[in-house]
Amino acid sequence: MHACPSALTWSVGSLFAVSGAFLYGLDANIIGAAIPRITPDFKSLPAVAWYGASYLLTVTAFQPLFGNLYKFFNAKVVYLASLFIFETGSIVCASARSSDVLIFGRALLGFGASGLLQGALAIIGCVVPLEKVPLFQGIVIAGVGISVCVGPIIGGALTQYASWRWCFWLNVPAGFCALVVVFFFVPLAEGFAKNTKALPLRQKLFRMDPVGTVLFLGLYGYYLPMFFQTVQGATATESGVRYIAMMVPQIVTLALTGAIVSRWGYYVPYMITGGIIASVGSGLLTTISPATPAAQWSAYLVLTGIGVGMASQLPYTALQVVLDASDIATGNAIAVFSSQLGGSVADALHRIASTRALPRYTSAVTLEHVLGAGAGGLSQLSSSPAVLEALRYAYNDAIRDVFILGLACTCLTVLPSCAMEWLNIALESQRRKQLRESDGAERVQPQEETGVNTAYMGPSNSLKQHE
């Protein structure tokens, strides 16, 4: 699939991957702190929801498109194009003089961002040896996790001490540095479907199924946790600081799991264990309320972070092992799309739950005013302590329903993980290396053609032949 790269290539690859993944997650989280300042500037309260939704709409809808782009075209070129679009969208947002222009810029940002995470995973799959892939994929996913944690903090600080426009100007130098590094230091990474390189452009576009891509446009949205801001009255910055209780163990576990899997070779045990731990933590999070002590919800977050960190990047590792090379880019697209789709369902559920919960606690404030105020604006809806307390409990009930959805989805990951074939990534890497040396070919042959299976056979760790 690729020649053995040097240590310098690995270092540069991890640098660009983390920066791209960081920008991918940062723009989904930084906008929350800026919205209270954007709304008075543009005096357009009905457009508030679109400031976040326009980004999430395009970043979700175009995952299948970029999956096919990375499959049929050069991965480095596609990544640079998506980064350029992302930079253009950032400039449009930062210089916007109306609400409509800002929404357009956010949509353009999402279009470019939809290729960043996939691009990082795609180029890692092309330039990093297979046995090192879990470690580098862990670094990429950790970059997204860090952005989730620091996004509200950075956004709150920039909005408070400079201007909300700096939330977007920040992307320009960071993205430019990543663009330069990729352009000059990352080698041209051949696409995954090398046997399609000679196809005419028309046939490539036909195989990308543009109709199927359009059908996904209605699936969008993303739910951002609001418990600390709405239920406990924390600011956006304080909410980001509290979220560290989950993100630090998640990032540490990500790095450790990636290193262990790269060393030991087997990834399925960690998918199972991580799913079980995350299920327990998710179940405990459904019990939190406005009166839950800080030590208690912090422990729940730590437990959930450990489970999520242990298992979250391993599906991408499994894709590298079980899929044929021509299908890896499509597999990455499906995996990233699924993560965004979960946010879409959660966002819709939260709005439905809010509609049901609010009338049970108070009729003094309408749902439209609550949604328009956002997570950080509940205190401005009423001067009555009783009404504000009722709003917090209504939000708590709505958020609990979303946590229950998360619990159900997390539990559902355990059984499929148990049914997965135990493959050793180190043995698979050795097999592919032997094939390259014996055939003198750059492209790894599918397992069906070689007749070799790297399934786990017990303590002997032996390989078996297909019957």
The candidate with the shortest Cα–Cα distance to 27, out of 176, 161, 144, is: 144
| Residues sharing a CB contact under 8 Å with residue 86, sequence separation 6 or more, in sequence order | 23, 109, 112, 113, 116, 171, 175
What is the domain extent for residue 455? 425-465
The candidate with the shortest Cα–Cα distance to 118, out of 135, 137, 99, is: 137
- Write b or e for each residue in 4-36: b if 16 or more Cβ atoms lie within 10 A of its Cβ, otherwise e: ebeeebbebbbbbbbbbbbbbbbbbbbbbbbbb
| Residues sharing a CB contact under 8 Å with residue 139, sequence separation 6 or more, in sequence order | 14, 17, 18, 255, 258
Between CA 170 and CA 458 the distance in angstroms is 52
Based on the fold, state whether residues 154 and 216 are members of the same structural domain. yes
As a dihedral over the C-alpha atoms of residue 100, residue 105, residue 106, residue 110, rounded to 10 degrees, the angle is 140
Assess if residue 264 is contained within a domain: yes
Tokens 């509940």: give the residue: 378
What six digits make up the tokens of 115?
């290729």
Three-state DSSP state, 455: strand
**What was the pLDDT predicted at 138?**
74
Q: What CATH number has the domain bearing residue 49?
A: 1.20.1250.20
What six digits make up the tokens of 6?
């040097």
What six digits make up the tokens of 2?
């690729």
Based on the fold, state whether residues 94 and 109 are members of the same structural domain. yes
Between CA 11 and CA 6 the distance in angstroms is 9
**Amino acid symbol at 91:** I
The model carries a pTM of 0.64
**What was the pLDDT predicted at 105?**
92
Based on the fold, state whether residues 434 and 298 are members of the same structural domain. no
Assess if residue 199 is contained within a domain: no
Based on the fold, state whether residues 395 and 458 are members of the same structural domain. no
Q: How many domains does the chain have?
A: 2
Between CA 283 and CA 297 the distance in angstroms is 12
Mean pLDDT by 10 residues, the chain (467 residues): 55 68 78 73 70 79 80 82 93 91 91 85 74 74 75 78 88 86 70 48 44 36 57 71 80 83 83 90 87 88 88 76 69 68 59 64 69 64 78 81 80 82 75 68 47 40 36
Assess if residue 205 is contained within a domain: no
Q: Which phi and psi (to 5°) does residue 452 adopt?
A: -115, 140
Chain CA centroid to CA 446, Å: 29
Based on the fold, state whether residues 262 and 119 are members of the same structural domain. yes
Assess if residue 318 is contained within a domain: yes
**What was the pLDDT predicted at 89?**
93
**What was the pLDDT predicted at 444?**
47
Based on the fold, state whether residues 375 and 348 are members of the same structural domain. yes
Based on the fold, state whether residues 319 and 443 are members of the same structural domain. no
